[in-house]
Chain A
Amino acid sequence: MDPLPEELYLRCVHCGMCVRNCPTFQETGLEMDSPRGRVQLLRGLSRGELAATPGLFRTAWDCLDCRACEAACPSGVRPGLLVEEARDRLKRFEKRRGVGIFLQELAMRFLFPYPGRLELAGRLLRFYQRSGLRTAVRRLGVLRLFPPAVREMERILPEIPARTARAILADAKANGEGEKHGKRAGDGRTAGLFLGCVTDVFFAGINLATTRILERHGFRVAAPAGQCCCGALHLHNGSREQAKQLARRNIDAFLAAGVDHVVTNAGGCGAALLEYPELLAGHPVYADRAREFSRKVIDIAQLLDQTGFLPPRGSFPRRVTYQASCHLKNVMGVADAPKRLLRQVPELTLLAMPDEARCCGSAGIYNLTHPEMAEALLRRKMADLPPGTEVVATGNPGCLVQLMHGAEKYGPPVQVKHVVEILDEAYAAGERK
């Protein structure tokens, strides 16, 4: 692999403005766990002043890649990118062995990139959850044979819906439905819905809610069939080559469909899509196509906020607080739009959460790879929920799972919902009136 792009870490003048923005530094107070420390250590590695060691592995892999530091950096240094690039080179120091790491690699390579296989896996999981098999497995203690990460995953998995949005939307299209749009905000423009890989299996409801909301706003919704996983997990894992392949497939799918917008409802995916130009920079064909694609990428909340949101008539009479997804805020720059939408929902009380942009510990699959740090961050996050909160709203499915887990394990017993689910419920309530 090429050495890290020199100018990226040279730009770091180690002023230290970033360190307090970093959730891992907030936890340990160690320079090695700060963005500045990570950049400097990778500089040392790149210049041959430091050998690749387990300590450096830890520095690179303990980063949440939440990108909060990038917002604080006066010099435009990109610790997230430097860390991602270094991860691949330090992988050989991975200490976790056996089933967990094997399953993770397997999923990255053979599952996430293939929507068909994912759907099948989803069905199997649903069968596992609903057939009584789960109860049996849990009772028999079979899970003890698996590493903690797998046990944790098994425990926090939400109930799998019967069908993916991909399948439902494809059927609707085949039946000639899904063309209900009037002269409203979207004005008949085509919103290409990015479905996500795991999201669509676990949270098809979020995609369906997004679709209904877009149609209410006069968008023609398309979900191009050729789309696949965004590659964010591969990027976090240092597997940039795999991520590039996925990026090209998505670019092809959406550009061929001729959509006006590529709409995302997952901050993590949206951020990855937005940064395709960086991933494919220098590619003879895809560099340009990536830029064209990236210009169309927009988060659902931002799209509604910018094009003229039609507030629901129905109400959502609950006390809600908003947890910003790191990538939604730090990379996509969507900070206040979701809150502006929520404030317009009748009878919804929006409570301010202190430090709402601090990572909840989900960070892709960080909660599985670094349970200790992730749990520490989650505990702090749950303690930060304003008193009286009934529902935590967020804009990223990863955060959703983590916060659900937090509500169950640490309390308070709040519900966790995607912003579009709240809006969708309020619209539905309005129609029942």
Chain B
Amino acid sequence: MALIQKLAAVVGQQNVFSAPEARYAYSYDATFRRRQPDVVVRPANMEEVAGVLRLAWETQTPVVPRGAGTGLSGGSVPVQGGIVLDLTRMNRILEINTADLLAVVEPGVVTDDFARAVAEKGFFFPPDPSSSKSSTIGGNLAENAGGSRAFKYGVIRDYTLGLEVVLADGRVIRTGGRTIKNVSGYDLTRLFVGSEGTLGVITQAILRFIPPPEATRTLLTFFPRLDDAARTVSAIIARGITPAALEFMDDQSIRVVEEYLHLGLPLDVEALLLVEVDGPAAVLAQQIAEIAALCREMGSREVQVASTAKEAENLWRARKAISPAVARIKPTKISEDATVPRSRIPEMVRHLKEIAAKYDLQIVIFGHAGDGNLHPNIMCDEQDVGEMRRVEQAVAEIFQAALELGGTLSGEHGIGFLKAPFMPWEHGENGLWAMRSIKQALDPRGILNPGKIFPPTQQVNNKVPGTDY
């Protein structure tokens, strides 16, 4: 293929991969659908990214930017084949500026590596998606990733001051800048964050960070009744306390973790609540006592407060063990992130349980109670065609329920192609028209991550050859 030779001229032969095993290895992310690219390209810098995009633009070849491939919505799966643009060679932290509290990084920097580098300078970068050990800043920006600290600290868009972006035709723009205040023109930074690689390729980001909290305290408690847990969350927040983490687990998740680790978790409760507060040490003791009292008042059982880091780690064990525990039950795990207003969590949980019963599926529910971001995980087997059909129906009903409660399809995983069909439900024709207009303006040839975000339209996209599994 002539294109492959031209790509090699841009990034070097050793950074272009089109052998069967390479195409297979870049056909998936952390979702269960896969599709092979025609070629994998690993550029080293912005100029090479621009060169690749110019070639793709000329030949109308799909380009799918990819970080670590840990996404949960299929964002980096090349559903129409074409070029996978692996950005992990661009992994330099170019600057950490402690006077302006900002850093300049390339998209391939691993999230944890960046957070650690900032911590070594005595500061704090809060976004912590659960894949942060592997995920990249570029991927986090593309999907606008959140994490357990989002309620208090926000998500990665709240830490993004500016971007360098290569547009579909290879032109390069810089958005935002190095200041917190910046109202100069349209906020393109926020447009590109969360655009899932459909509008441009981020090649550099200016990220802000903050001073770290002085101390952290952790509390774990169980509620025989789900509604009491929800009322407690609201009560804590109404007291003016903003926990750094407010994690919730339902009875099913408690059961699977208990069966896995035998931690001695109670099996006759409807909810587990893990609360973490951080801030000045002097304030925390009083805050945690206040939260403990509230929990008891609202009908909780067994309030455990950690006084050391080690004890805190123990309290987190149940929450952190959900994924491995769940993985032992069935081979396929569909992790959703439908999000509702905080006060509607109990209703949403009840809906989810009804849906599980209706479609005879096992669904464990956990998530971030502070921001209403629930993670119903459907346990299934991708080999079981009948079950997968029921899963599909259940997923549709989950989205419907979330939207009816005033929520959204996705709190932090992104739309990708798995949720794309449901976009009209949330945004309506006009909302989608506005989004399509932006897409059309920036990528008129539709080469950037095609098949993502937007529901498949009347006209079927031209498929590039590639094997579909």
Give the docked Cα–Cα distance between A287 and B416 (Å): 48
**A356 surroundings in chain B (CB, below 8 A):** none
Expressed in whole angstroms, the Cα–Cα distance for A74 and B469 within the complex equals 25
Interface stretch (choices B17-25, B211-219, B229-237, B267-275): B17-25
Distance in Å: Cβ of B91 to nearest Cβ of chain A: 8
In whole Å, how far is A236's beta carbon from the nearest beta carbon of chain B?
21
B256 to chain A, nearest CB (A): 13
Contact B110 A56 (CB under 8 A): no
Bound-complex Cα distance A362 to B358 (A):
55
* Chain B residues touching A, majority SS: loop
A-chain residues with CB within 8 Å of residue B255 when the two chains form the complex: none
- Name the one of B21, B89, B324, B327 contacting A32, with C-beta atoms under 8 angstroms: B21
Query: Is B134 an interface residue, CB under 8 A from the partner?
Result: yes
Provide the bound-state CA to CA distance between A31 and B89, in Å.
12
In the assembled complex, which residues on chain A have CB atoms less than 8 Å from the CB atom of B383?
A: 10
Task: Provide the residues of chain B in CB contact with A14, threshold 8 Å.
Answer: 28-30, 69
- Is A32 a contact of B328 with CB atoms below 8 Å? no
Of A17, A51, A76, most B-chain CB atoms within 10 Å = A17
**Are the C-beta atoms of A74 and B323 separated by less than 8 Å?**
yes
What is the CB-to-nearest-CB distance from A373 to chain B, in angstroms, rounded to a whole number? 15
Whether B343 sits at the interface, judged by CB under 8 Å, is: no
Residues of B within 8 Å of A76, CB to CB, are 324, 327-328
- Please state if B24 and A50 are interface contacts (CB–CB under 8 Å): yes
A18 / chain B contacts, CB cutoff of 8 Å: 134
Q: Are B21's CB and A53's CB within 8 A?
A: yes
Identify B331's interface contact among A10, A51, A59, CB under 8 A: A10
Known interface pairs A29-B89, A74-B327; A17-B21 also in contact (CB < 8 Å): no
B30-46 interface with A by 8 A CB criterion: 30, 32, 42
Contact A15 B24 (CB under 8 A): no
A31 in complex: contacting residue of B19, B69, B328, B332, CB < 8 Å: B69
CA–CA, A13 to B70, complex, Å?
A: 10
Residues of A within 8 A of B69 (CB): 14, 16, 31
A40–B34 CA distance with the chains assembled, in angstroms: 11
| Interface check A55, CB cutoff 8 A | yes
Among A20, A32, A49, A72, point to the contact of B25 (Cβ < 8 A).
A32
Minimal beta-carbon separation of A45 from chain B (angstroms): 9
Q: Chain A contacts of B249 at CB under 8 A?
A: none
Q: Are B24 and A49 in contact (CB under 8 A)?
A: yes
- Determine whether the beta carbon of A7 is less than 8 Å from that of B331: yes
User: Contact at B26–A53, with CB atoms within 8 Å?
Assistant: no
How many Å lie between the Cα of A37 and that of B40 in the bound state? 14
Tell me whether B332 and A13 are in contact (CB under 8 A). Answer: yes
Give the docked Cα–Cα distance between A30 and B23 (Å): 12
Chain B residues with CB under 8 A of A19 = 68, 134
Name the residue of chain A whose CB is nearest to the CB of B134.
A16
Q: How many A-B residue pairs have CB under 8 A?
A: 86
- In Å, the complex CA distance between A30 and B69 comes to 12
Assess whether A75 is interfacial by the CB under 8 Å rule.
yes
A50 touching B21 by the CB < 8 A rule? yes
B332 & A20 in contact (Cβ 8 Å cutoff): no
> Is B252 in contact with chain A by the CB < 8 A criterion?
no
Closest to B23 in A: A50
CB pair A15–B88 under 8 Å, yes or no, is no
Min CB distance A15 to B, Å, is 5
Closest A residue by C-beta to B68: A16
B28, B29, B110: the one contacting A20 at CB < 8 Å is: B110
| Given A32-B25, A59-B21, CB of A75 within 8 Å of CB of B327 | yes
Q: How far is the CB of A128 from chain B (nearest CB, A)?
A: 41
Determine how close the nearest CB of chain B comes to the CB of A16; give it in whole angstroms. Answer: 4
> Given A16-B70, A55-B19, A74-B324 in contact, is the A29-B24 Cβ separation under 8 Å?
no
**Chain A hits for B25, CB < 8 A:** 30-32, 37, 40-41
B133 contacts chain A at the CB level, 8 A cutoff: yes
**A11 contacts across to B, CB distance below 8 A:** 327, 331
* Complex CA distance for A31 and B36, rounded to whole angstroms: 13
Q: Nearest Cβ distance between residue A195 and chain B, in whole angstroms? A: 38
Q: How far is the CA of A238 from the CA of B70 in the complex (A)?
A: 30
List chain B residues, Cβ under 8 A from A20. 110, 133-134
A16-B68, A76-B328 given; A49·B134 CB < 8 A: no
Complex CA–CA separation, A19 to B66 (angstroms): 15
| A20-B110, A75-B324 known; A53 vs B30 contact (CB < 8 Å) | no
Can you name the residue of chain A whose Cβ is closest to the Cβ of B325?
A: A74
Nearest B residue to A31, CB-CB: B25
Interface residues of B in 250-304 (CB under 8 A from A): none
B157 within 8 A of A: no
User: In the complex, what residues of A have CB within 8 A of residue B21's CB?
Assistant: 32, 41, 44, 50, 53, 55-56, 59
Q: Is the CB of B24 within 8 A of A44?
A: yes
CA distance A20 to B134 in the complex (A): 6
Which of chain A's residues have a CB closer than 8 A to the CB of B333?
A: 13
Instruction: Give CA–CA (A206, B28) in the complex, Å.
Output: 47
Separation in Å of the A112 CB from the closest CB of chain B?
32
**Closest chain A residue, CB of each to CB of B324:** A74
Are B134 and A53 closer than 8 Å at their CB atoms?
no
Question: Can you list 25 A-B contacts with CB-CB less than 8 angstroms, sorted by A residue number?
Answer: A11-B327, A13-B30, A13-B327, A13-B332, A15-B131, A16-B30, A16-B69, A16-B131, A19-B68, A29-B88, A30-B22, A31-B25, A32-B22, A32-B25, A37-B25, A40-B24, A41-B25, A51-B20, A53-B21, A55-B22, A56-B21, A74-B323, A75-B324, A75-B328, A76-B327
Q: 8 closest A-B pairs (Cβ-Cβ)?
A: A75-B327, A74-B324, A16-B70, A31-B25, A55-B21, A10-B331, A37-B25, A74-B323
Q: A17-B70, A31-B26, A40-B28 are in contact. List 4 more A-B contacts (CB 8 A).
A: A13-B32, A32-B21, A50-B24, A53-B20
